[in-house]
């Protein structure tokens, strides 16, 4: 795992590098867009954590270049600008996530991991929460590397939840994932499937938990 | 004539219609004044009166009992003469010319009910006339001619085909002007107004100048200049806010990272708490500044979806606080508003509820008709010390326990004001606080 921190603040830059290095592995620090471009030419990175306001311009201008790289690095933008328009601009440009300053160190690491997980999901098709692993391409689930056999609808539910692990999945997204256009949706059917899926996960010693949020949706989270 | 508050188009149409009518009327009068009356108009009128005064006696000879008007004509025109003939005989008044007297005993009426001059030609600028009023009576007269004024008066008194047509033409002209001119004047104004309406809250859009009629161009230019100034001020405000955000947040972030080096766990936790509260205040102040200073673009949005997204966004905060966050509301609830502004307001309400009403263990976000969204907590409530107004003032707080910034509700109030929504704060039945926003649908 190789990380690039693009941050011009003399205090924050080294701190970011050290914190990320400790949590995720080797990190490099650059302070300008130019240096970032140079660094990207030298070697590939898995994750780029960058400030938006840099001495030589807005970091958004670099995102397009980064997205064309192969393998594509995950991009986490740090911004002091929390105007919804600014956030939308960063995400539209292709950033995977943004984090508003000031942030809790724990939050930074969690977001970095989430972004990496999503990118891994896109590129390798694997999403994991605690000891639960889901292979998107093969559509198979493992608990502690033990294959989990699931009925069709429960598998579809698990896939929808694992694709957005750590995020709230709205109930209607689950319904869309499980039922086709022609299926008659019974209002409680989803709950029945979910409760069976939950039971099955528990029986197999899974430490990931499906947290229900009444009226909102569900959250796949580490129960530890 | 004052134009204040009155339609320019209507005034212009009335003015134009009046002018056209006056012009045509003057033209008509001028025509009459120029040509005058050669006798035909006066003699036509007098012949009419004679016709009313004459009948035949038993032997078929004409007999006359002059009407008041005929007597008046006789006084008015001293040289008036007339001779009324029937096949049986005749009577006369005034100095009948010898030429007419010569044909006295010859029964020779015109073939139609029309006026002919004494020579038998169709009556035109003659000095005398022969009028066949019925097959048996022939009226021959002369020696009378109106002055210009009298012609006009006569025409007004007894409308003939010419004056009727003239009146009809004037009516049509006035009606057309009144209907057409306002449309002509109003259409470009309406178009400009529609274009101005289109601009709405979007930046950089201007009224088209080239397509404006020249009268509206100065107004459109002035309007665009005003928009330029507003856009410049908005951009300046935005720049200021993002600079302020940067200048405030960067040192806060730096400070937060330095706090990681504090060894004493207790002191560290306390300092981190203080810093988080300060960061929260900064965020809310910036949100409030943004809401009050920038135009909000309103669209048709689903309040239920917006509220559910806001709830989903605050799930991590709720989970961290050990609160069950619940959303109620099945049907879409369409309102006119800004997803971003309402999202910010609801996020603040939900965070407020989690922070101050967390004792109840759950927070409910509920959407219902019409355009209503409530954030309900089951905590201690605000207490009776605060009425609705005080809680909404910036920096007012329910509890003086140091948590929270007291800005959340004023942001919500600002969001409500932007949307013309009403904001009410009530006690949840069984304890707690219910904050309700009701949007106009």
Q: What is the pLDDT of residues A85-96, one digit of tens each?
A: 778 888 888 888
d(CA B393, CA B410): 6
Interface of A with B (CB under 8 A): 9, 11-12, 15-16, 19, 53, 80-84, 86, 100-105, 168, 170, 211, 213-217, 219, 221
Q: Is the pLDDT of residue B402 over 50?
A: no
B-interface mutation test, from A21, A80, A91, A174, most B Cβ less than 10 A away: A80
Q: Which residues of A touch B255 (CB under 8 A)?
A: 102
As given in the structure block, the two tokens for residue A106 are 């724990």
Q: Is B115 in contact with B131 (CB distance < 8 Å)?
A: yes
Alpha-carbon gap: A75 to the closest alpha carbon of chain B (Å): 20
Q: How do beta strands A140-143 and A132-135 pair? A: antiparallel
Determine, for residues A83 and B324 on separate chains, whether the beta-carbon distance falls below 8 Å: no
**Per-residue H/E/C for B298-328:** CEEEEHHHHHHHHHHHCHHHHHHCCCEEEEE
Q: Is the pLDDT of residue A18 over 80?
A: yes
d(CA B316, CA B250): 24
Q: Which backbone phi and psi does A201 adopt, to 5 degrees? A: -65, -45
Determine, for residues B258 and A219 on separate chains, whether the beta-carbon distance falls below 8 Å: no
**Helix or strand run (H / E) with residue B19:** helix B8-35
Determine, for residues B249 and A217 on separate chains, whether the beta-carbon distance falls below 8 Å: no
A-interface mutation test, from B249, B251, B261, B287, most A Cβ less than 10 A away: B249
Q: Is the pLDDT of residue B163 over 80?
A: no
As given in the structure block, the two tokens for residue B59 are 């032997």
CATH for the A126-222 domain, from 3.30.300.20, 3.40.50.410, 1.10.10.10, 1.10.150.120: 1.10.10.10
Q: Which residues of A touch B311 (CB under 8 A)?
A: 213, 215-216
Give the nearest chain A residue to B324 (CA atoms): A213
Give the CA distances from residue B75 to residues B44, B94, B101, B126, in Å, rounded to whole numbers and listed in that order.
17, 11, 23, 21
Alpha-carbon gap: A216 to the closest alpha carbon of chain B (Å): 6
Determine, for residues A214 and B315 on separate chains, whether the beta-carbon distance falls below 8 Å: no
Determine, for residues B241 and A217 on separate chains, whether the beta-carbon distance falls below 8 Å: no
d(CA A69, CA A63): 10
B275 shares contact with chain A (CB less than 8 Å): yes
d(CA B234, CA B231): 5
Q: Which residues of B touch A100 (CB under 8 A)?
A: 249, 283
Alpha-carbon gap: B246 to the closest alpha carbon of chain A (Å): 5
- In the CATH hierarchy, which fold is given to the domain comprising A3-124? Rossmann fold (3.40.50)
Give how far the C-alpha of residue B178 lies from the chain's centroid of Cα atoms, to the nearest Å. 17
Q: Which backbone phi and psi does A25 adopt, to 5 degrees? A: 120, 175
Give the CA distances from residue B318 to residues A201, B322, B323, B352, B418, in Å, rounded to whole numbers and listed in that order.
25, 6, 5, 11, 28
d(CA A36, CA A5): 9
Residue B244's contacts (CB-CB under 8 Å, 6 or more residues apart) are B286, B289
What average pLDDT does the structure give for chain B? 78
Q: Is the pLDDT of residue B305 over 50?
A: yes
Determine, for residues B325 and A105 on separate chains, whether the beta-carbon distance falls below 8 Å: no
d(CA A138, CA A15): 40
Count of other CB atoms within 10 angstroms of residue B406:
16
As given in the structure block, the two tokens for residue B96 are 């009948």
Give the nearest chain B residue to A86 (CA atoms): B242
Domain ranges (residues) in chain A:
3-124, 126-222
Q: Is the pLDDT of residue A116 over 60?
A: yes
- State the complex-level ipTM: 0.72
Counting beta carbons within 10 angstroms of the beta carbon of residue A206, is it exposed (0 to 12), middle (13 to 18) or buried (19 or more)?
Answer: buried
B180 versus B294: the higher-pLDDT residue is: B180
- In chain A, how many H helices and how many E strands? 8, 14
Residue B274 CB-half CA count within 13 A: 8
Determine, for residues A170 and B308 on separate chains, whether the beta-carbon distance falls below 8 Å: yes
Residue B264's contacts (CB-CB under 8 Å, 6 or more residues apart) are none
pLDDT at B201: 57
Count of other CB atoms within 10 angstroms of residue A107:
13
Counting beta carbons within 10 angstroms of the beta carbon of residue B29, is it exposed (0 to 12), middle (13 to 18) or buried (19 or more)?
Answer: middle
pLDDT at B138: 80
pLDDT band at B340 (very low <50, low <70, confident <90, very high): confident
> What does the pLDDT look like over A45-64, one tens digit per residue?
889 999 888 888 888 888 88
Determine, for residues B283 and A83 on separate chains, whether the beta-carbon distance falls below 8 Å: no
Give how far the C-alpha of residue B314 lies from the chain's centroid of Cα atoms, to the nearest Å. 47
Alpha-carbon gap: B381 to the closest alpha carbon of chain A (Å): 23
Determine, for residues A217 and B275 on separate chains, whether the beta-carbon distance falls below 8 Å: no
pLDDT at A5: 92
| Residue-by-residue DSSP string for B37-73 | --SHHHHHHHHHHHHHHEEE-TTS-EEE---HHHHHH
Give how far the C-alpha of residue A47 lies from the chain's centroid of Cα atoms, to the nearest Å. 12
Percent of chain B with pLDDT strictly greater than 70: 82
Give the nearest chain B residue to A11 (CA atoms): B254
Determine, for residues A170 and B283 on separate chains, whether the beta-carbon distance falls below 8 Å: no
Lowest mean pLDDT among B3-7, B50-54, B258-262: B3-7
Q: Which residues of B touch A98 (CB under 8 A)?
A: none
As given in the structure block, the two tokens for residue A142 are 């493992």
């Amino acid at each position: 795992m190789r990380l690039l921190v693009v941050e011009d603040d003399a205090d924050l830059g080294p701190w970011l590098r050290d914190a990320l290095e400790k949590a995720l592995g080797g990190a490099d620090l650059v302070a300008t867009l130019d240096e970032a471009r140079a660094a990207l030419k030298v070697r590939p990175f898995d994750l780029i954590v960058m400030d938006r306001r840099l001495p030589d311009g807005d970091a958004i201008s670099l995102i397009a270049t980064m997205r064309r790289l192969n393998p594509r690095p995950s991009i986490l933008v740090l911004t002091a600008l929390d105007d919804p328009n600014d956030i939308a601009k960063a995400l539209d440009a292709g950033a995977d996530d943004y984090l508003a300053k000031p942030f809790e160190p724990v939050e930074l690491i969690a977001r970095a991991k989430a972004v990496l997980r999503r990118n891994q999901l896109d590129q390798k098709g694997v999403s994991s929460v605690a000891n639960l692993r889901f292979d998107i391409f093969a559509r198979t689930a493992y608990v502690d590397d033990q294959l989990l056999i699931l009925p069709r609808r429960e598998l579809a539910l698990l896939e929808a939840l694992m694709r957005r692990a750590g995020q709230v999945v709205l109930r209607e997204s689950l319904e869309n994932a499980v039922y086709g256009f022609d299926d008659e949706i019974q209002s409680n059917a989803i709950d029945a499937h979910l409760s069976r899926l939950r039971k099955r996960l528990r029986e197999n010693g899974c430490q990931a938990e499906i947290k229900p949020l009444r009226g909102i949706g569900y959250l796949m989270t580490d129960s530890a | 004539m004052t134009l204040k508050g009155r339609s320019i188009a209507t005034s212009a149409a009335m003015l134009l219609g009046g002018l056209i009518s006056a012009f045509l009327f003057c033209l008509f009068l001028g025509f009459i004044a120029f040509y005058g009356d050669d006798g035909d108009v006066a003699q036509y009128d007098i012949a009419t009166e004679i016709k009313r005064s004459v009948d035949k006696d038993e032997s078929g000879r004409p007999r006359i009992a002059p009407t008041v008007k005929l007597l008046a004509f006789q006084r008015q025109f001293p040289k008036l003469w007339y001779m009324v003939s029937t096949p049986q005989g005749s009577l006369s008044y005034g100095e009948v010319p010898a030429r007419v007297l010569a044909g006295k005993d010859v029964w020779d009426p015109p073939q139609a009910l029309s006026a002919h001059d004494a020579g038998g030609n169709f009556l035109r600028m003659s000095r005398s006339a022969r009028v066949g009023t019925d097959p048996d009576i022939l009226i021959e007269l002369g020696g009378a001619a109106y002055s210009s004024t009298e012609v006009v008066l006569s025409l007004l008194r007894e409308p003939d085909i010419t004056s009727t047509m003239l009146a009809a033409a004037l009516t049509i002209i006035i009606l057309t002007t009144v209907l057409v001119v306002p449309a002509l004047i109003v259409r470009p104004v309406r178009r400009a107004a529609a274009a101005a309406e289109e601009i709405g809250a979007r930046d950089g859009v201007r009224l088209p100048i080239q397509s404006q009629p020249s009268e509206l161009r100065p107004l459109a230019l002035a309007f665009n200049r005003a928009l330029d100034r507003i856009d410049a001020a908005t951009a300046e405000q935005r720049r200021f806010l993002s600079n302020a955000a940067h200048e405030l947040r960067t040192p806060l972030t730096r400070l937060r990272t330095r706090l990681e080096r504090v060894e004493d766990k207790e002191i560290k936790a306390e300092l981190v708490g203080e810093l988080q509260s300060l960061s929260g205040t900064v965020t809310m102040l910036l949100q409030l500044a943004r809401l009050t200073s920038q135009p909000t673009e309103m669209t048709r949005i689903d309040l239920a979806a917006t509220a559910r997204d806001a709830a989903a966004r605050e799930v991590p905060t709720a989970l961290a606080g050990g609160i069950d966050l619940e959303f109620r509301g099945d049907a879409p609830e369409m309102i006119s508003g800004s997803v971003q502004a309402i999202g910010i307001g609801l996020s603040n309400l939900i965070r407020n509820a989690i922070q101050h009403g967390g004792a109840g263990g759950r927070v409910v976000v509920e959407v219902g008709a019409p355009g209503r969204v409530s954030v309900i907590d089951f905590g201690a409530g605000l207490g009776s010390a605060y009425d609705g107004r005080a809680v909404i003032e910036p920096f007012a707080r329910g509890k003086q326990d140091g948590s929270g910034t007291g800005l959340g509700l004023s942001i919500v109030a600002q969001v409500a004001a932007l949307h013309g929504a009403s904001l009410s704060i009530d006690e949840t039945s069984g304890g707690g606080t219910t904050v309700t926003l009701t949007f106009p649908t």
